[in-house]
Chains A and B, each alone.
Chain A
Amino acid sequence: MSCAAAKETAPMVHSSAKPDATVNPCTLCAPLGAALATAGVRGAIPLLHGAQGCATYIRRYLISHFREPMDVASSSFGEAQTVFGGEDNLGRALDNVLAQYHPELVTVATTCLAETIGDDVPLLLNRYRTRTGNALPLVHAATPSYKDGHVEGFHAMVYALVKGLACNQGAPSRAVNLLPPLVSPADLRHLREIVAGFDVAAIVLPDYADRLDGVILDRYRALPDGGTRLVDIASMPRALASIDLTLTGRAPRASKLLAERGAPARVLGLPIGVRATDVMIESLSELTGAGRPAWLVGERGRLLDAYADGHKYVFGASVGLYGDPEFVAALAGFLLEIGARPVFCATGARNRALPEALASLPAGSVDEVLDDTDFESIGAACERHKPDLLMGSSKGYRLAHALGIPLLRVGFPIHDRLGAGRILHVGYRGTTRLFDELVNALLQGRQDASPVGFSYL
């Protein structure tokens, strides 16, 4: 470990996509994000317009992370639909989804195939409504994966939900809208708890905490309980304000639209670390006029106490960070706050969100930013920067294993461990947990490397 100060004059290098193949992708496709966001609405089911495999692959991927049922319907294109258009199949798919699931909402996201053949999904949905007379809300998001990855697909669906459903502009309600990026069910629960601490209602969109970290059942439910109610989404423009927890990329579009409809927006970013969480807490305090609840004051104090106990073990430690832009940016802020060094920050997202988010950091904070990248390039970055530890999804496992360094699993996806949905990243409480894990992973490395070991710190 070298001293952080030595790096201060080094310029931040920015590397982006290769001209040819992507090897070991660091992103998923856009419809995955759209399907996941849909699971955050009560009684909603996602339908992907395209071939059957997209829905099945995405289900398998999400199921392996959340370890919960995750149903995603497909319009199951064959050759005929590819040539003549998918209208009939989309209609049949909607009929069958309605018959089996009795949903309150169906979202339709497009696959590459439907986008490439040029199906006009809004038009097809209008014709379906007219033909069947069905008043069920249908929300559409265009999610071609040759344009965007899962992060943008997620936010595209949140925007479509707000655009299509958040239309009630009546008297103000004592609620705060919370628009999180892709976080864990544990994070969603904690965010709700924090807002409730200020004696206001939280409308979290999307909120898949209960659907994707659900209880055991004796009778199966086609659509599990939980998720934001349609009536609450409708009332979002009447809230005191929207707190958008995504700074990066095109994500703040949804809160901007809500602002146009009546609820002022505060775009804050993901609350990981003391400073980032303080920003959210102060915002809530200002909006509600309520003071910080005692339990939050206590959690903040205990986090600072933990920082004091562990600061020496993380100071100067070099960390390779990768994942979704918002997550990586927030984790970089956390690492800098405790004296660790995010030697590289990498994302597979291709919207320049990460370099833009990191541009505001003091010079020398991060040695290299990899945008629109893959794990082959992240591997090369590891060779250049020799990090002490990696932080990110489980997809960095083989890299960490080959390098013989610890991997701290955070974010999405985590396919090789249990409890991905229960990982808490946000707030003082989540930060405390991350800090302990980080310190302990580094200590484990020291113990493993020592011929005699040690029994006390």
Chain B
Amino acid sequence: MKNKAHILVVDDAPLIRGLLSQVLEKYGYDVSTAENGQQAIECFIAQHPDLILMDADMPVLDGVKACAQLRKLPEAKHLPIVMVTSFAEKNWVDGAYLAGATDYVTKPVNWDVLRNRIRYILQAKQAEEALFQEKEKAQVTLASIEDGVITTDVKGAIDYLNPVAMKLTGWSTRRAKGNSLKEVFSLTHEQTQEPIIFPIQDCLTAGKAIVLSQGILLNNHHTQTQFAIESSAAPIRDRQGQVIGSVLVFHDVTENRKMTQALAYKATHDALTRLYNLQEFKNRLNHLFNLKPIPSGALFYMDLDQFKVVNDTCGHEAGDQLLRDVATILKGQIEEYYTYSQFTLARLGGDEFGLLLEQCSISDALQLGNILCAAIEKFRFYWQERGRQAVFSIGVSIGLVPIDPPLADPKQLLTQADAACYVAKNAGRNQVHLYQKQDEQQLDRDFQWISVLNDNLEQSKGLFLHHQPILALHIQTTEDQRYEILLRMDNHQGQLVPPSAFLSAAARYNLTSTLDLWTIRQLFTWLKNIPQFPSQLKLHINLNDASITDFSFVSTLLSLLTASPIPCQQLCFEFSELAVLTHFTDSQTLMLSLKQHGCQLALENFGAGLASFTHLKKLPIDFLKIDASLISNLLNDNLDSATVEAMNRLAHLMNLKTIADGVKNPAILEQLRNISLDYGQGDGLGKIQPLEEIVLQQWGNLVTQ
């Protein structure tokens, strides 16, 4: 409303019009006048006064009829119209009100009455407008907000739904009005899918706010959809504080809940295999230990055998697929054979899996372990890439620990399972090993080995170089004499032990490349002290798996070779077939670098693994050293004999020299000569001796010559 209210005075009597105008102006209003009802309507349309003061009985169009016509105009719907008449008779008063008059005053007008009535009516109009604006604002707000809002009366019957509430519930306000809340606001428990009734009566009777937010789904029966919601209700009170209804506010958290669920899933699951992850596995194990009494059960620690071969020969994509396949097999087998209680299968990292069985006897757990081993052994992994197809068979080593009071803590239980798995792997892979107290002793032994190894490396003592001759089998020559350099270690108990005793520990603690470097440095130091080292002597040096992929080792080795005390042509580096297959690209790169320095190369343990001639073609090697397991069976196993013969023939076709490893006796030597192998090595041909013996032997030879 404007600062000065505008009043239209309508009267056919000029003196009255003038008098009313003067009085009202004195009261502070803007005044305009009209002579009859028709003029009044025209003035209203043109000027939009805030109030009309109108005589009832006028010529042309009387005030009552004019009032009725004005009320038909939308903009005059709420206009205060005060009738002024000398007629106090009921028919005029009733007629005026029926026509929509706001109020009336009688003539002669009492100025005090007129002043107060107009002021009151205008204030009421102002209040009504303010109220209307507030209501408009509230309705626009309710229509605009993203929350659903439902109001009920004191009995819980629906009064109003805002657009969001209508959309989510599928009910319009018109249809819902008067219905009970439970009918319109139909809820279901997210987990149990049981119906839930919103406790609106608690809100209405206790007058307290209610929040309902966890795991609630709102059913839209119209669209047959469900929304995850969070909701709250509060009582609506009148001026006296009495509850007159309630307001229910809710919002769609479907996306948020999905995101939360996705995050929770991500936090507890392994992205690759969709199994539980290590953290969740530990959480569940801890939870089990918090139960009273702790239920019996079993813990599996599973490590895949030969996974690295697949991963490194066919790439990470193949490795990932293999892990997914294994996860599917394990889960499928467990679900099929272990149906009577809960289990938790998790990928613990790399190619390691964990399984937690609850309410399970140890015999059932063992049986399941064997089923899993059999399933994995039976499984064949096919991989095709760029027209090349490969088939792999793998295994799984399982360490099994019973969960049976008195118990260790969860952490120790995992360590025990890991130790049992370690034993299973060392015992020949693809088997279940039930944890024994001494299993951890093996881990302890490894730890002790590492302690001794570290001591020896730091103090440059306790490690020694030995050698074993590699003899040509068909020619007696002094021009090509070969020796394999071998490492021996003092076990701090006065015994020298071979690397097989401590290599698994060294590998576990990433010390193999350190040992390889120590061997090479030690050999070079020794060679520097020997003037005129005979050129016909060739020295074979082993490289371990880890060294091949160790950039620091490779870089140091190549640097050492540039300052080699003897020509690199006298050095032959031996790579195991498994190491090459596991790290084919790195092996190939290192081999080429060594070749550039003039070094010779050998592939050892050939036949212990895949015996892949396909790979041989791609490697710049000079020697193929056939694994001792084949050579030692040469006389007893026709298949092994035929295999060795075939390998020898194929190697010769590829211009490779062959070395038989593990020659134990003259009979095997004779057989090797028969099938034309080029070299032999083993206790039957020459014992392992300290490195210094080479010099004595050579000097002796020289004296003899």
Indicate, yes or no, whether A interacts with B.
no
Instruction: Give A contacts to B, CB under 8 Å.
Output: none
